[in-house]
Structure 1
Amino acid sequence: MDLRERVVAAVKQDGMSRHQAAARFGVAISTAINWVKRFDESGSVMPGKMGGYRPKKLSGEQADWLRRRCGEGPFTLRGLVKELHAERGLIVDYRSVWEFVHAEGLTHKKRR
Structure 2
Amino acid sequence: MTRALSNDLRGRVVAAVAAGQSCRSVAERFGVAVSSVVKWSQRYRATGSVAPGKMGGHRKRLLEPHRAFIVERINQTSHLTLHGLKEELAARGVKVSHNAVWLFLRREGLRFKKNAVRP
TM bracket (short chain) = 0.7 to 0.9
Amino acid at match of 1:98: W
Residue 33 of structure 1: how far off its partner (Å): 0.9
The TM-score normalised by the length of structure 2 is 0.77
1:40 to 42, 45, 56: 45
Query: How large is the RMSD of aligned CA atoms in angstroms?
Result: 1.9
**Which ranges of 4 or more aligned residues in structure 1 deviate by more than 3 Å?**
51-54
Q: Does 1:59 align with 2:59?
A: no
- Please state whether the residue corresponding to 2:64 is helix, strand or coil: coil
1:6 to 4, 12, 35: 12
Q: Does 1:18 align with 2:23?
A: yes
1:29 to 26, 30, 34: 34
| Percent of aligned pairs sharing the same letter | 42
Matched residues in 2 for 1:33 and 1:101: separation? 44
Amino acid at match of 2:27: A
The TM-score normalised by the length of structure 1 is 0.81
Q: Does 1:95 align with 2:99?
A: yes
- Please state whether the residue corresponding to 1:9 is helix, strand or coil: helix
Name stretches of at least 5 consecutive residues in structure 1 with no aligned partner. none
Would you say how many aligned residue pairs link Structure 1 and Structure 2?
Answer: 109
Residue 53 of structure 1: how far off its partner (Å): 4.1
Matched residues in 2 for 1:23 and 1:100: separation? 48
Counterpart of 2:84 in structure 1 is 79
